Amino acid sequence: MATPDSKQLALQEKDLGNAAYKKKDFETALQHYRTALTHDPTDITFHNNIAAVYFEQKEFKKCIEECEKAVEVGRENRADYKLIAKAFTRTGNAYRRLEDYKAAKTYFEKSLSEHRTPEVKSLLSDTEKKIKEMERLAYIDPAKAEEEKEKGNEYFKQGDYSTAVKHYSEAIKRNPDDAKLYSNRAACYTKLAAFDLGLKDCETCCRLDETFIKGWIRKGKILQVMQKSSEALTAYQKALEIDPNNAEALEGYRACTMAVHADPKEVWKKAMNDPEVQQILKDPAMRVILEQMQNDPKAVQEHLKNPQVASKIQKLLESGIIQIY
C-alpha cells in the first residue's frame, strides 16, 4: 500500500509526464509515468497514461498489454469504473488500428458494460459496420455467382420463380455489382406480381449499368403494370437513347404516350394535384421558358442544357403537362 508521501510523489511525476505528453515528448512522458508507478503501483491511471503513450507511438500491441495491466490493477484496487472503461476503450481503439475489428468490438462492449458513453456507442456501431462490410466482401465470389445465376435461369425456365429468386439473390450476394443479376431477379418478381421489389431491382440495375437496355425496358414494363405510365415513358426514353430501333422500347413508349395523353382533362387534373408541378408552374422564369418552347419547339434543346431547368421540364413531361415529341 502506497503511503501518502509516495502518492504525492507519484502525482508529481504524473504531472511532469502529462506536460511532456502534451509536447509530444513521448519518451520523457514514459519515464515520468513509469516513475509514478514505482511510487504508487496501485493507481490504474498511470497504466492508462503509459498505454496512451504507446498508442501515440503506434505501438499498439504494447498499448493493449498495458491496458490489460491497467484493468488488472484497477480491479484489485477497486478503481473507478470509468477508468476501467477507459482502458477497455483504448484496447478497442488499438485493435481497430491493427484492423482486428472483432477484437475491437469485444472491448468496446466491455467498456460499455462498465460505463456507457455516446462516444463508445458510436465506436461500437462503426466497428460493427466494418465487420459486416468485411464479411460481405469476403463472401464475394463471381464464379459462384455465375453458378447461382445458371441455377436461377433453369428454375425460371421451369416456371419455379420463387426458387429462381433464391438463386438470383445468392448470386447477388456473391457478386453485388453485376447489374444483370438484378434484372433477372426483377423478372422473377414481375412473374410473382411483386412489382415493388421488381422495380427496386430495376432501379439498382440501371444505376449499376446505365447502358444495359434490358434494365430500362424491364423497369418500363413494371411501371406500366403499376399504372405509372408517365414514369414508364421516361424509362422507355432511356432505353431508346441506347438503341433507337429497339422494338420493345418503341412499343412501350408508344403505349405509354397514348395512356398518358388519352384524356387531357384527366391528365391535367392529376398533374395539378402534384405540389411539385404546381410549384414549377408558379415559377415566373419557368412560365417564360414554357412560353418560348410553345412558340419555338427548338428552344427546348437550349433550356435542357441547364440541369435545374431540365429537371423541371422532365417533371412536366412525366406529368403529361407538356410534350416535346
- Check pLDDT > 70 for residue 320: no
**What DSSP string describes 75-135?**
HHTT--HHHHHHHHHHHHHHHHHTT-HHHHHHHHHHHHHH---HHHHHHHHHHHHHHHHHH
Tell me the residue range of the domain where 121 lies. Answer: 42-138
- Check pLDDT > 70 for residue 168: yes
Q: Which residues contact 318 (CB under 8 A, 6 or more apart)?
A: 230, 231, 233, 234
pLDDT tens, position by position, 276-307:
888 988 899 888 888 888 887 677 667 766 77
- Please compute the mean of the pLDDT values over residues 184-208 and round it to a whole number: 95
- Please compute the mean of the pLDDT values over residues 170-195 and round it to a whole number: 95
Weakest-pLDDT range from 53-67, 127-141, 213-227, 289-303: 289-303
- Check pLDDT > 80 for residue 63: yes
- 229 and 214: one domain? yes
- 107 and 147: one domain? no
- 76 and 182: one domain? no
- Are 165 and 132 spatial neighbours (Cβ–Cβ below 8 Å)? no
Q: Residue 325's pLDDT is what?
A: 43
Specify burial of residue 148 (Cβ count, 10 A radius: 0-12, 13-18, 19+).
buried
The answer to whether residue 27 is domain-embedded is no
Domain boundary residue, one of 239, 262, 285 = 262
The answer to whether residue 50 is domain-embedded is yes
- 222 and 156: one domain? yes
The mean of the pLDDT values for the chain is: 91
Q: How many domains does the chain have?
A: 3
CATH number for the domain spanning 203: value is 1.25.40.10
The answer to whether residue 3 is domain-embedded is no
Cell of 114: 462498465
The pTM assigned to this predicted structure is: 0.58
